[in-house]
Structure 1
Amino acid sequence: MRVDAMDASHSVSSDTQHAFSPRRRSAKDRQNRAYEEAAERVDQDADALYVFGIPEEDLTTEVRAAVSRILKDNEALRRQLLKAERVIADLHDLADHDSLTPTLNRRAFMRELNRLLALAKRHKTPLALAYFDIDDMKQINDRLSHAAGDAALLRIGEMLVEHCRSSDLVARLGGDEFAIVLPHSNAEQAAELAARLTAALAANPPMIQDDVVDLKLSYGVSMAQADDQAEQLLARADADMYAHKAKTKAEGAAAQS
């Protein structure tokens, strides 16, 4: 048993010491099973006013039980924190990514594009943007179904991601329009990538609802200029894409005549 005693020889007067009843007094605490025993008689030569003891085996058992409870509570809290972190990560992912394709959505794309533009300006490095539009998307929806159209968009999104570098930024801007930002690249490199993508799509048309769907992409490119914001760079690429689309249609019509 561990025993602690309080020295009474200096703190308690002799009159007070003799005033204690000779009866033995004891009390038991239910939680820690401690025992307190008052002295039967305190005289001038007494060294202690009272004795307080806790059986060592009881103390060890209770400490171990308390530690075990704390560890269990900490583990439960850790699991709750991990779950909360996963939920927050999922919410961030949903906020930034397109709901249909494995690409960024327009909001996240514009935010990241402005960030990359600022970096390119600061470090004086080139940055290019390629803008894509699926030709005749309405016919796919009308001839097959909107589900087939969604499948086509998914395949386009997957293909763009597969052919791009990890440093490139790929997004579906809405409807059947996609964009790729190429840091440390010029307009020629962006056009080469866009041409490879359209050729790869033509060579491997996707199978959708047991039907081979002939998907074609029109594209335009633009280079970042000194004071560009995201909207300006995107607008120039969009205009170049429509010019490319019109040229392709004109060439196709001339070939048929």
Structure 2
Amino acid sequence: MGRRTYESRKAELQVELLKLQNWVQESGQRIVLLFEGRDAAGKGGTIKRFMEHLNPRGATVVALPAPTERERGQWYFQRYVQHLPTNGEIVFFDRSWYNRAVVEPVMGFCTPAETVRFLRDTVLFEEMLINEGLRLFKFWFSVSQEEQLRRVMSRAQDSLKQWKLSDVDRRALPLWDEFTEAKKLMFAATDTKASPWVVVKADDKKRARLNCMGYVLRSFEYDAWVRQRVPKPDPKLIGPAKSLYAKDEVW
């Protein structure tokens, strides 16, 4: 996709996002969007395009650092709960409580028993949020091994992007298969009817961003003509984990 076409389509979707935000504020909706995926999959870049023109008073990004000693002694979900939206707000999580399903067990930051307990408890936790009226979206940005390596190497060579590459990221890079197995377990345990995972094929950053925006916009009827204005996302690039991910297990 050419730059001019991308920028034009992105601007159109960002106008729609403002309309969505106005509706969220007027109707008192509460929306949470979780962005998960391997390092360099494009999570943060997509959130940036979502947020680019939204009113920051009603839309926030949560990207938490490693837990403090005090937080490690608390209920696992506690430090995330305080960032959940009130009426009229949209919250984007750049990584979330799902750290315990993938990153933490692979990197040895939690015990196997803690992961098992998390996978059991998170289904109940999310059902509770949804029953309270919160709209929850869970996106997994899926990137190929070759593309991930290319992006990581690009970051390492760019002085303006080196901050994105942590020691944990470097140690995680050779553990592709381990992350794949953890991801499979996470999907098996937490991809539920009430709270499904949506996979975004993200080797093409531009298309991934546009498809993700379109998916969110078409999930709401903030006016009667939204589906006429917002193109249907490409089903080959975004869709339910049960159908899309199963076709390409290597991602």
TM-score over 0.5 for the pair: no
More strand by share: 1
Greater relative contact order structure (CA < 8 Å, 6+ sep) = 2
User: Higher Cα Rg: structure 1 or 2?
Assistant: 1
Provide the TM-score with structure 1 as the length reference: 0.23
